[in-house]
A = this chain, B = another copy of it.
Amino acid sequence: MPDHTRPPDKRVTIYDVASEAGVSPSTVSRAFSRPSRVNSETAERVRQVAERLGYRTNPLARTVGTARTHMIALVIADISNPVYAEIVRGAQEAATDSEYTTVLIDAQESDRRERAAIERTMSTVDGIVLASSRMSDSAIRMFAKQRPVVVLNRAIADVPCVVTDNPRGVRRAVEHLGELGHDHITYVAGPEASWPNGIRWRSLLEAGMELEIKVRQIGPFSPTIAGGERAAEEWCARPTTAVLAFNDQMAIGLIRGLGQRGVDVPGDVSIVGFDNIVAADIVTPGLTTVAAPLYAEGSAATRHLLTMIEGAPGHTGRPMVLPVRLVVRHSTAPRNPSPGRARSPWVRQRPAPNPAAHLW
């Protein structure tokens, strides 16, 4: 058998390297962690010996004593929501650039799960990025007392935050719809515990006021395709020619639900979503949506967290605001001149249940 009598658990330690290189363990340690504190020739020799012996610094051991794990937690609301993919990338990039490891936690849209997971992980990480947390402000503040925390997509006093410019995004969407002749907009609400949901609605109220467009809200619904489909039913009870949905998934679900009821998008109703997920570009019609710099969100939040971990105070004043923009596709169109036309067939026209909705 070609087994090279492998030493089963014989990790190479700094002590091995030290004795092999003829220096003390502290010198080996410093050769890696504080190269300036050691003669460059010695350091080089140590590194070579370490290399030869296959020494790999044990991050766990470093942890004891320094209480620095070089890990951060990134908590997201729902891993199946494609929005988070780019955020995660941005965060991971920023983290690995600084030699930090990211541990990703999927809260599955549940307050309870989120807390539990954070409590389990908290003591093993140096800091936490909370992306779209569903927890209460006070719960978040509690965690923030124990570890550096940066909150994404939410503004909380006394905690560092990174948000996108929701008011501006909504404003752009409303302007766009207004230019197309719409004067009533329905907001399809997402989770009540979602901070963006609240601010989007408030921003819509404000924009509607200024631009003299009437607005109302239906919901809340789950921020998923299924949620959007359910919203279609409720919308049919009191239709408007324009809809702003909490996010793209709901918008897509809505378009679907409406299609099954014979409502045409954008012929009968214009729909705008939020987030610009990939799917927004592949559905029919292409979804007009408010795009956010997801990657930048993740990396900005993470970089901020890292500076806090390194000892910086963490500016808790105004949140950092990232810009957004409106991506116009084909789910919005000029208001249909004969608004009453399609109304009758919408209501109570229950289609055959979609077989694919029950996959698995």
Binding site for B on A (CB under 8 A): 6, 9, 11, 56, 58-61, 63-64, 67, 69, 71, 79-80, 82, 85-86, 88-89, 92, 96, 101-104, 106, 108, 117, 120-121, 123-124, 145, 225, 252, 256, 276, 278-279, 281-284, 286, 291, 293, 295, 327, 329, 356-357, 359-360
Contacts and interface: CB of A to CB of B under 8 A. Distances in A.
Contact of A60 (B63, B120, B276): B63
Nearest to A327: B359
B360 A295 contact: yes
Contacts of A64: 60-61, 63-64
The binding surface of chain A is classed by DSSP as mixed
Q: How many identical chains are in the complex? A: 2
13 contacts: A11-B67, A56-B123, A59-B124, A63-B64, A64-B64, A89-B106, A96-B117, A101-B124, A102-B104, A225-B278, A276-B359, A279-B282, A284-B284
A60 B124 contact: yes
Contacts of A56: 123
Given A80-B86, A276-B359, A284 B283 contact: yes
A26 to B, nearest CB: 18
Nearest to A278: B225
Contacts of A85: 79-80
A145 B6 contact: yes
Given A6-B145, A63-B64, A79-B88, 5 more contacts: A89-B108, A96-B117, A104-B104, A281-B359, A329-B356
Contacts of A282: 225, 252, 256, 279, 283
